[in-house]
Copies of this chain bind each other. A is one copy, B any other.
Amino acid sequence: MAAKLSEKAVELLKKPVLAHLATIMKNGTPQVTPLWIDTDGTNLFINTEQNRLKAKNMRRNPNVALSVVDPQNNYNTLWIQGTVIDMDAKNGQTHADTFAKKYRGLDKYVNTDSADVRVKITIRPDKVAGSASK
């Protein structure tokens, strides 16, 4: 069930903040890694390479969680439990470019390996907590 993002949540996610994404491994244990994030006010968008462990985990199990802390104020936080509702490789590179702009001021996202395939991942927030949630 979708949860609504507050104005403060959207404001935080529009900043060039790091999100820490938890996915579930095949054996049911968690994995967490940092990544870039954005939102359209309703869903969350992240981007990764299609063969990364987190991508494999999300293809198998769409249940994820995210933690975001404002680097300017460690008490401005978001803790989100959500569901992966789309994994889009077609628009993955274009989406990575928007992240390069947001986080680095660059027009293009340069892959470490030219064979990399970027995937745009859409996450529906199901439960939102933390100080920026209201």
Contacts and interface: CB of A to CB of B under 8 A. Distances in A.
Contacts of A34: 20, 67, 69, 74, 77
Secondary structure of the A contact surface, majority rule: strand
A39 B113 CA distance: 35
A32 B69 CA distance: 11
A18 B29 CA distance: 21
A30 B20 contact: no
Contacts of A63: 28-30
Interface residues of A, number: 26
B28 A65 contact: no
B32 A32 contact: yes
Contacts of A81: 25, 29-31
Given A18-B69, A18-B74, A29 B24 contact: yes
A64 interface: yes
